[in-house]
Amino acid sequence: MQIWTYALIAVFALSALFIYLLPAVIAFKNRHPKRFWIALLDVVLGVTVFGWIAAILWATAKTPLAEK
């Protein structure tokens, strides 16, 4: 294999990892009060489409002022 093949595989793998962890990244960036639970949900159940969608919705949801 040529070096470009390995580079393309590395770019694809890093992109896939970023997309997989996107809900956790969003939760930590927005300082969501439940960010550790969102990250745990994303890592454990993110491989399923339902778990990833639930994590992304939870990470982007507006939180009430009482929880902040």
Domain map (residue ranges) of the chain: 3-67
Q: How confident is the model at residue 20 (pLDDT cuts 50, 70, 90)?
A: very high
* Contact present, 41 and 55 (Cβ < 8 Å): yes
Residues of the chain above pLDDT 90, percent? 85
**Continuous segment of H or E residues that includes residue 37:** helix 35-45
Mean per-residue pLDDT over the chain, rounded:
92
Q: How confident is the model at residue 63 (pLDDT cuts 50, 70, 90)?
A: confident
With CA atoms as reference, report the closest residue to 25 among 8, 46, 10, 48.
Answer: 46
Flag whether pLDDT at 64 surpasses 80: no
Which pLDDT score is estimated for 62?
A: 84
With CA atoms as reference, report the closest residue to 23 among 34, 47, 39.
Answer: 39
CA–CA distance, 64 with 68 (Å, rounded to integer): 7
